Amino acid sequence: MAEIGVLGLGVMGRNLSLNLADHGYRTALYNRHYHVTEAFLRQCREREPSWRRLQGFREMEDFVNAIERPRRIVLLVKAGEATDLTIENLLPFLDPGDVVIDCGNAHWLDTIRRERELRRREILFVGSGISGGESGARFGPSLMAGGSRVAWEKIEPIWRDIAAKVDPQTGEPIEGAAPGRPVTGGEPCAALVGENGAGHYVKTVHNGIEYIDMQLIAESYWLLKHLGGFSNPELAEIYSRWNQGELASYLVAITARILSQPDPRGAGYLVDQILDRAGQKGTGKWATDSALALGVPANALAEAVFARYLSSMKDARLQASRCLESLAVRPVDDPRDWSEQMRQALYSAKICAYAQGFQLLRAAQEEYGWRFDFATIARIWRGGCIIRARFLNTITSVYQRNPDLANLLLADDFRAALHRGHPAWRRTVATAVLNGLAVPTLGAALAYYDGYRSERLPANLIQAQRDFFGAHTYERIDQPGKRFHFDWAGGQQETAVE
């Protein structure tokens, strides 16, 4: 009998199946189109040491019956209607106590609904965020589970086995996994983060931070290239050097590799031949929608999403570039100093990006009745996932010391870093603006920092305007807790409003 089943053999399903098999789990496989299952198994027999632990099935009923009870079935199908239809087709073959684990990029509200509906039928449901892409699924992802404690206990040993591992002393990811040779030992990047839709929500916020981080790195690359005048090999060396210090992360590491990759079709470098139109799958928009709904000022997140929207308007940008006045870019006098300034700006903005993400998590737990352990979330993001970074060790420590910290910007470690870095950050944004180079996310993160640290903001004028045209009332500094309306047309009368 199989110990677990995987339903859906797209890229993630195939690779997660191999991960399970490498860790010794007998795994049943099912795909709506059986020829996909056959082709996958044929490839496994040719190249995968653990292929004997995989068994494919043509019929869904046979697939379900081949899994030992209580069954554990992983869904890796398209989010939305396809997931609902798959669950509907599965239900006739399930028994009370079975566990269905949705590892797709589901919206958390869908997961809340599905968990409630299946609970009525005594079926356990887990919505598990999974990050790390194809390689992560194959050799160790970050796994963010949402569900009941009972459901988690049924999958916890497996999730801890197949997750990415970090060194318990350094917090650094343990590398070296290969087909048939999984990483053993270390601290697993898997945890139960909350009930029902909590896992998929945490994954959505993860992706929102990912959007910001990628856009920040892209802006730094653009400024180094156009104002610093660095060549691609020089840029690759800069990012490689940065990856040895406080900016060490998966995204910075792959940026160095990307910039050093020659074009396989001719002279030059591949990155210069890639169209500047970025795609997306919607999770950044979901995170932004949630920030707006919850009233969280995640402006860097919104700008990162909008930057992708703007990049998609390629034809419009081409036309505008021919008729809208531009500025002549004036390279900086000292490229070496510019690269150090850019490093400080990038790190400072990155702190604000994560601060906005954790603020969003804090607001969501109040809205949905979850209770997040922020140190645990930071800990399981240290390996396997796309935003894995060295400074997540610091975030983990910060929240372990003070779980109720209002904002990451207030932590001593980050306050000191921002104090050191914000002058260079300001010069960087100012120089970009004066040269007509767009830095939407670097600028938005700086505006967030300056707004959050300001005792007074110009919102007093906005409140006066709202009261003038709509009688929306205002509060007075000298009489806290009371609301007032002024007769702006009449000129003298102020009235206290209950």
**What is the full per-residue pLDDT of the chain (498 aa) written as tens digits?**
999 999 999 999 999 999 999 999 999 999 999 999 999 999 999 999 999 999 999 999 999 999 999 999 999 999 999 999 999 999 999 999 999 999 999 999 999 999 999 999 999 999 999 999 999 999 999 999 999 999 999 999 999 999 999 999 899 999 888 998 998 889 999 999 999 999 999 999 999 999 999 999 999 999 999 999 999 999 999 999 999 999 999 999 999 999 999 999 989 999 999 999 888 878 999 999 999 999 999 999 999 999 999 999 999 999 999 999 888 899 999 999 999 999 999 999 999 999 999 999 999 999 999 999 999 999 999 999 999 999 999 999 999 999 999 999 999 999 999 999 999 999 999 999 999 999 999 999 999 999 999 999 999 999 999 999 999 999 999 999 899 999 998 877 889 997
Among residues 196, 219, 242, the one where a domain terminates is 196
**Phi/psi-derived region of residue 171, left when phi > 0, alpha when psi is between -120 and 50, beta in every other case:** left
Instruction: For residues 165 and 29, state if they share a domain.
Output: yes
Same-domain status, 396 and 252: yes
User: Do both 308 and 398 map to the same domain?
Assistant: yes
Q: Are 225 and 101 contained in the same domain?
A: no
- 188 and 220 in a single domain? The answer is no
User: Which residue, chain included where needed, has tokens 């938005």?
Assistant: 444
- Co-location of 211 and 326 in the same domain: yes
In a shared domain, residues 435 and 466: no
In a shared domain, residues 480 and 340: no
Residue 400 shares a structural domain with residue 294: yes
Here the CATH number for the domain that contains residue 472 is: 1.20.5.320
d(CA 114, CA 126): 9
Bridge partners of residue 101, in order along the sequence: 74, 126
Same domain, 92 and 181: yes
Query: Domain end: 133, 161, 196, which one?
Result: 196
**403 closest CA partner among 361, 450, 455:** 361
Q: Which of 437, 452, 467 is the last residue of a domain?
A: 452
402 and 318 within one domain: yes
Burial string for 280-319 (b: 16+ CB within 10 Å, else e) reads eeebbbbbbebbeebebbbbbbbbbbbbbebbeeeeeeee
CATH code for the domain of 257: 1.10.1040.10
Domain that holds residue 167: 4-196
How many structural domains are present in the chain? Answer: 3
Q: Provide the annotated active-site residues.
A: 203, 210
Contact yes or no for 206/387 (Cβ under 8 A): yes
172 shares its domain with 228: no
